[in-house]
Every structure is written in C-alpha cells, then in structure tokens.
Amino acid sequence: MPRVVTRNHKVILIAGGAGFVGSNLCRRLIDEGHEIICVDNFQTGNRCNIAPFLQHRHFRLIQHDICDPLDISGPVDEIYNMACAASPDRYQEGPVHTCKTCFLGALNLLELARRKNARILQSSTSEVYGDPEISLQDESYRGCVNTCGPRACYDEGKRVAETLFWEYGAHNGVETRIARIFNTYGPNMDPADGRVVSNFIVQALKGEDLTVYGTGLQTRSFCYVSDLVDGLIRLMASDEKMPVNLGNPGEFTMLELAEKVVKMVRSRAGVTFRPLPQDDPRQRKPNITRAKTILGWSPKVNLDEGLAATIEWYRERLAADQEAEAPAGQ
C-alpha cells in the first residue's frame, strides 16, 4: 500500500474555494490547523460559503480567475483545483469559459505548483466516462463521450485537464493527484445550482412538483460532501499518481430519489416529467475498489442521513433568503 504522508501545518491553496465542495474543504482544513489561501472568481462561488472564515487568521481570500496566470507570495505546500462550474446549467451558460477554466486554469495552477514545488490535486469528474456503456465504472474505463454535444465543454475539458496533470507529473516533476468525483451533495450547494438533489429539495420545500427528466429510471450514486472531502484529503496525502474514483456506490433512480425527498420534507408535491437532455448519462455507479485499497477510504454517510442534513440546511437557507428579500418593516 502506498505511504500516506501527513504534516502538522501546511499552506494550502484552494482554487474554487468559495464553491460548494471548495468551501467544505476550506472548513475541514482550517479545523485541522492549516493556513488556507482561497482563490475564486465568484462565477459560481458564494461569499456566504466562506463568510465564517473571512476573519480567521489562517484564511486569505484572493478574487481571481484561474484562466489568467496566478502568482502567490510566500510558500505553498498543496494546491487543490476545485475551480469550474460543475452543474450543467451553469457550465453551459459560458461553454468557452468552461473549456478555458478546465484547460488554462489547470495549466496555470500546474505552473504555480511547479514554481512552488507544491503537490497539486485535480478535481476531475465521473463525466469523463460520458454516457457509460459499462457498470460499474472503474478507472480503467475510457468512457463514451460526445466531443461536440452540449456537455462536451465540461466533459472534454476535464479529460484534457487530466492529461495535463499526467504530463506534468510524468515529465515536469510535479507531484500530481487526480480525483474522479461522482455526484456529491450537501450544505453550501447553491439552491439554484440546477443539479438533481438541490432541485428536488428546493422544489419540495416550496411545495412545487419535482422536475424529473426522461423516464426517471436513469440512476445516480450520491456522495455526501463530508465523505468526499475526506477522500480528497486522503488522496492528496497518498503517493497515488493515477486517477481515483471518489463516490458512493449506492445507486438510486431519479424516481427513488424524488420519493425519498418528498417523504422526508413531508411534502405533497407530485412529479412533472420533461424530455431528457442530450447526452445526459443513463447510469452512474463508481467502482471504488482502488479508493478502498489505496486510501483506506469508503463513504460513511448513507443517503437518508445525508439528505436529512441537507434538507435542514436548505430549509434554513431559504428562510434566510426570504427574510433578506422582505421589505423593511415587515
């Protein structure tokens, strides 16, 4: 088993640190006593997510788009590249910028890692497998991706980012790590994110019918964000240079998820069916054997537990948003 390396105090740069996963990663690493440099252009990141850290002596915020070169004064021990819109609704709004973030952003961060002699982790995605022709998806599967479809800017962008990480690791002496992240959910995911868990919970809390695309029989595997963060940290500390799947292999149809959310919210909402978007994957289920073997990692939070915590977070967030929008004096 590869050696796992830990240090008591590190300077850690998190690109996309104000985003959903990035902000949860910030919290965990601050709690562990590390110094955090959060870099975000706030395209999809939210200052609310990092508000608790802004006055922390070990937290520094830099507003910057990683499509442009980045220079940091002082030492940097580790870099997590969590930057790039991950929701289809968001990354399709600016597909060229999505491509640039995946390619130029990765290149700029790799160059920073080379200059700083820092270890760097790429947040890749299960989308590199496209609409898979096999189940389970393991890291050796090369995928079934449409290079010219509406999702290609993200899918292919992440694939080329993996190639850059591989080349810098193989030929430029940079310590690189690649995490292939499967569907993740939990606190700090934008209510308007557009992905299925946030959509279903927000719609149910508002008493609206849940929007299901296609037949609703397509499947996803949902990983709670604290489990994912733990996997990312373990991968960063390991000696593993090849991609590693991080996700929860529990598999649910969209209709099963909708039923769970409606029941847990105690909503009377129904379901509205809409056409399945082009290239939307029919099935997602990770093989996490390598993560178990190499990292000693497997998810701990089951879907019911994770949904309960996520529903409560959304309930509080929507109430706060409603209060903020209310006219003065009401």
Instruction: Work out the pLDDT band at 329, boundaries 50, 70, 90.
Output: low
Burial class (CB in 10 A: 0-12, 13-18, 19+), 214: middle
Which residue among 154, 168, 224, 314 is the active-site one? 154
Give the CATH number for residue 214.
3.40.50.720
Domain residues for 108?
Answer: 11-323
| pLDDT in the model for residue 1 | 39
Average pLDDT over residues 168-197: 96
What length is written for the chain?
A: 330
| pLDDT in the model for residue 281 | 85
Question: Is the residue at 134 inside a domain?
Answer: yes
pLDDT 10s digits, 85-137: 988 889 999 999 999 999 999 999 999 999 999 999 999 999 999 988 888 99
Q: In degrees rounded to 5, what are phi and psi of residue 246? A: -125, 110
Question: Is the residue at 277 inside a domain?
Answer: yes
Q: Is the pLDDT of residue 311 over 90?
A: yes
Instruction: Work out the pLDDT band at 2, boundaries 50, 70, 90.
Output: very low
Could you give the 3-state DSSP secondary structure of residue 130?
A: strand
| pLDDT in the model for residue 140 | 94
Lowest mean pLDDT among 19-23, 142-146, 196-200: 142-146
- Say if CB 82 and CB 161 are below 8 A apart: no
| pLDDT in the model for residue 134 | 87
Question: Can 154 be counted among the known catalytic residues?
Answer: yes
| pLDDT in the model for residue 321 | 82
Question: Is the residue at 227 inside a domain?
Answer: yes
How do the residues of the chain divide into helix, strand and coil, expressed in percent and rounded to 5?
40, 20, 40
Question: Is the residue at 184 inside a domain?
Answer: yes
Distance CA 41, CA 34 (A): 22
Question: Is the residue at 5 inside a domain?
Answer: no
Question: Is the residue at 279 inside a domain?
Answer: yes
Question: Is the residue at 3 inside a domain?
Answer: no
Question: Is the residue at 181 inside a domain?
Answer: yes
Say what angle helices 20-31 and 225-237 make with each other, to 10 degrees: 60
| pLDDT in the model for residue 135 | 87
**208: DSSP letter:** P
pLDDT 10s digits, 188-244: 999 998 899 999 999 999 999 999 999 999 999 999 999 999 999 999 999 999 999
Count of domains observed in the chain: 1
